[in-house]
Amino acid sequence: MLKKIVIIGPESTGKSTLCAQLAEHFETEWCPEYAREYLHTNGTAYEYDDLLTIAKGQLALEDEYTARLEQQSEPLLEAGGHIPLFIDTDMYVLKVWSEFVFNNCHRYILDQINERRYDLYLLCNTDLPWIADELREYPDLHTRQKLYLMYKDIMMNQTVPWVDISGNYEERLAKALKAVEAIL
- Convert the pLDDT of each residue in 80-94 to its tens digit: 888 999 999 999 999
Q: What are phi and psi of 57, to 5 degrees?
A: -65, -40
Domain that holds residue 86: 2-183
Q: Which residues touch 101 (CB under 8 Å, ≥6 apart)?
A: 51
Please give the share of the chain, as a percent, with pLDDT higher than 90. Answer: 82
pTM for the model: 0.94
Count of domains forming the chain: 1
What length does the chain have? 184
Q: What is the CA radius of gyration of the chain?
A: 16
Beta carbons of 7 and 15 less than 8 angstroms apart: yes
- Convert the pLDDT of each residue in 101-132 to its tens digit: 999 999 999 999 999 999 999 999 999 887 76
Beta carbons of 36 and 134 less than 8 angstroms apart: no
CATH number (domain holding residue 41): 3.40.50.300
- Convert the pLDDT of each residue in 171-182 to its tens digit: 999 999 999 999
Identify the helix (H) or strand (E) that includes residue 182: helix 169-183
Q: How confident is the model at residue 140 (pLDDT cuts 50, 70, 90)?
A: confident
